[in-house]
């Protein structure tokens, strides 16, 4: 009896079927067709590139075992990717990927044109029943580069953004990750890039979405059993902007699906722009493979703006709103509100409102009252030095002892508590906390935070420490 591609593949399928979940078998193996057998290489045809990535990611081991059983140690697997037919184009687009060189293939930039653009797609932004193939970008035109003022604090991120919008997908800033604290302009800059791209390349499909909404759509798609439509939809985007990716932490299903969408877009030269309130090294509960993708491109930080930048942001805002305000008032506000541009703008708006409602003149007195309210409402941030001092006092040791290299249990605990509170009460990164508390690395701080969490739920005495210190440190 002669061996054919079909007979070899059937034997493989029998083996695989016995070893994986029936649903997975149905989804990932039934659609495959055996095409050809030459020498010791079996060619199989898969329906899409995504399919191929998924097989490589999840089933490459079992495929290898199955095929080696059939064809011996020199067995090879060749994927042929079949793209969907589209109107006017009866020729299927096929692509050959030799499996002898798999790892190289994965990173290689294979340009598979997206030809299923006209297939009916379930667009998660559109109310079911209404067919809408055009993808709305969800961008806010008020957030653009013209009104995103430049300063030392944002120069790198801003110019990286401009470079990306000049050549989306064509720079090494892919993904571009913009990170920084609350109210420092991440969302504004992310929109500005998208708006500028839409301006320069109207034919490109740009989509802005918050990580939270993305997660919700994903969950809905799983519920409605159209996860594949969800994935296909996102694979059509040329420029994908995802805001606040820290929201994905701990959500492994969403991370998994995003990983595959990301790979698809990246491999096809599409641009991905992400924002986060933390640097990649400080992101918790985000899978390593995703973090490593985030680091492929450029991570650019938005820092707190200096005084001059704060003044020019305020002046620009007043100018656009057509409001006049004396310089000394603007400077007073800029001097006292430092760490958040949203609050800076909030104070000025509140000042204008107060003066017009109460028919009061805008003067320094009024500015003081308004600023005071803002400063009071924003909790004062305690310093890491202060935390170390309070914790050492509480355990009756000095700060040097707390920072020392000793492994004595009560000292280790004090140090871990200091790290825990530094993480909880300051905006410092894990790395920066570690370097300030006895020159430890970020992993040590992370471990300390977890240990404190664990101990305070299992150890009564320890919980008391945490409660006492929380009181002492509250401002």
Interface residues with Mg ion (CB under 5 A)?
A: 186-187
d(CA 178, CA 274): 6
- With binding defined as CB under 6 A, does residue 185 bind ligand ADP? yes
Give least dist CB 423 to ligand ADP, A.
20
Contact flag: residue 310 with ligand ADP (CB under 6 A): no
The one among 342, 389, 442, 447 contacting ligand ADP by CB under 6 A: 342
Given the rule CB under 6 A, which of 66-74, 94-102, 123-131, 175-183 is the region that contacts ligand ADP?
A: 175-183
330 contacts 179 by C-beta, under 8 angstroms: no
What is the spatial distance between Cα 107 and Cα 37, in angstroms, rounded to a whole number?
26
Separation CA 171–CA 163 (nearest Å) = 7
Task: With CA atoms as reference, report the closest residue to 37 among 9, 68, 65, 74.
Answer: 9
Give the phi and the psi of residue 233 in degrees, each rounded to 5.
-55, -50
Among 345, 386, 426, 446, binds ligand ADP (CB under 6 A): 345
Helix, coil or strand: residue 170: coil
Residues 6+ positions from 275 with CB-CB distance below 8 Å = 177, 178, 179, 186, 187, 189, 190, 242, 243, 244, 245
Q: Which is nearer to ligand ADP, 42 or 192 (CB)?
A: 192
Question: In whole angstroms, what is the distance from residue 452 CA to residue 473 CA?
Answer: 16
Q: Among 39-47, 78-86, 142-150, 215-223, which window interacts with ligand ADP (CB under 6 A)?
A: 142-150
* Separation CA 233–CA 257 (nearest Å): 12
Task: Pick what 154 binds: ligand ADP, Mg ion, none; C-beta below 5 to 8 Å, kind-dependent.
Answer: ligand ADP
Determine if 182 is a binding residue for ligand ADP (CB under 6 A): yes
Give the binding range for ligand ADP (CB under 6 A) out of 37-45, 182-190, 278-286, 440-448.
182-190
- Cα–Cα distance for residue pair 80/95, rounded to 1 Å: 5
Sheet holding 94-97, edge to edge: 33-38, 41-46, 76-82, 94-97
Q: Which is nearer to Mg ion, 102 or 342 (CB)?
A: 342
Residue 367 found at the interface with ligand ADP (CB under 6 A): no
94-97 vs 76-82, strand pairing mode: antiparallel
371 is an interface residue for ligand ADP by CB under 6 A = no
Question: Which among 34-42, 47-55, 160-168, 176-184 is the span making contact with ligand ADP, rule CB under 6 A?
Answer: 176-184
Which listed range, 146-154, 246-254, 391-399, 414-422, lies at the site for ligand ADP (CB under 6 A)? 146-154
Residue 273, φ and ψ in degrees, nearest 5: -125, 130
The nearest distance, CB 416 to ligand ADP, in angstroms, is: 31
Cα–Cα distance for residue pair 328/334, rounded to 1 Å: 10
The SS3 call for residue 406 is: coil
**Distance of closest approach, residue 47 Cβ to Mg ion, in angstroms:** 38
User: Closest separation between CB of residue 383 and ligand ADP, Å?
Assistant: 23
Kindly tell me which of 154 and 456 has the beta carbon lying closer to Mg ion. Answer: 154
CA 434 – CA 118 distance, rounded (Å):
53
Nearer to ligand ADP, 186 or 270 (CB): 186
Q: Does 188 bind ligand ADP (CB under 6 A)?
A: yes
Contact 43, 37 (CB under 8 A): yes
Task: State the residue number with the nearest CB to ligand ADP.
Answer: 185
Q: How far is the CB of 244 from Mg ion (least distance, A)?
A: 6
Residue from 49, 82, 186, 270 that binds ligand ADP (CB under 6 A)?
186
Q: Which residues bind ligand ADP (CB under 6 A)?
A: 147-149, 154, 180, 182-188, 313, 341-342, 345
């Amino acid at each position: 009896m002669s061996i054919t591609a079909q007979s070899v593949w059937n034997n493989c399928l029998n083996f695989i079927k016995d070893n994986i979940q029936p649903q997975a078998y149905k989804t990932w193996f039934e659609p495959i067709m055996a095409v050809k057998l030459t020498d010791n290489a079996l060619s199989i045809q898969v329906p899409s590139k995504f399919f191929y990535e998924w097989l490589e990611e999840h089933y490459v081991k079992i495929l290898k075992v199955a095929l080696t059983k059939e064809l011996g140690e020199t067995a090879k697997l060749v994927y042929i990717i079949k793209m969907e037919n589209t109107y006017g184009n009866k020729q299927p687009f096929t692509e050959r990927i030799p499996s002898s060189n798999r790892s190289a293939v994965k990173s290689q930039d294979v340009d598979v044109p997206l030809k299923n653009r006209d297939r009916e797609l379930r667009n998660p932004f559109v109310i079911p029943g209404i067919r809408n193939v055009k993808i709305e970008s969800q961008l806010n035109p008020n957030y653009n580069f013209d009104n995103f003022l430049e300063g030392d604090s944002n120069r790198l991120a801003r110019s990286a953004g401009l470079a990306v919008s000049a050549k989306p997908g064509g720079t090494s800033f892919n993904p571009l990750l913009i990170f920084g604290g609350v109210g420092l302009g991440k969302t504004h800059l992310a929109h500005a890039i998208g708006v500028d791209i839409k301006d320069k390349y109207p034919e490109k499909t740009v989509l802005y979405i918050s990580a939270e909404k993305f997660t919700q759509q994903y969950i809905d798609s799983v519920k409605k059993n159209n996860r594949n439509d969800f994935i296909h939809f996102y694979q059509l985007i040329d420029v994908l902007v995802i805001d606040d990716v820290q929201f994905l932490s701990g959500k492994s299903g969403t991370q998994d699906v995003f990983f595959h969408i990301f790979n698809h877009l990246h491999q096809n030269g599409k641009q991905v722009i992400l924002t986060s309130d933390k640097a990649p090294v400080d992101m918790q509960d985000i899978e390593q493979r995703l973090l490593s993708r985030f680091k492929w491109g450029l991570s650019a930080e938005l820092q707190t703006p200096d005084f001059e930048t704060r003044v020019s942001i305020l002046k620009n805002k007043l100018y656009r709103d057509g409001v006049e305000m004396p310089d000394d008032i603007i400077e007073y506000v800029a001097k006292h509100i430092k760490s958040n541009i949203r609050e800076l703008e909030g104070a000025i708006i509140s000042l204008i409102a107060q003066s017009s409602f109460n028919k009061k003149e805008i003067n320094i007195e009024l500015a003081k009252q308004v600023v005071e309210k803002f400063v009071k409402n924003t909790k004062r941030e305690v310093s890491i030095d202060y935390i170390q001092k309070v914790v050492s006092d509480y355990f009756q040791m000095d700060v040097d002892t707390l920072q020392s290299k000793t492994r004595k249990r009560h000292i280790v605990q004090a140090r871990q508590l200091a790290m825990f509170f530094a993480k909880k009460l300051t905006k410092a990164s894990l790395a920066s906390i570690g370097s300030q508390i006895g020159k430890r690395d970020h992993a040590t701080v992370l471990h300390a935070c977890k240990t404190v969490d664990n101990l305070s739920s299992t150890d009564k005495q320890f919980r008391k420490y945490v409660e006492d210190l929380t009181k002492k440190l509250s401002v």
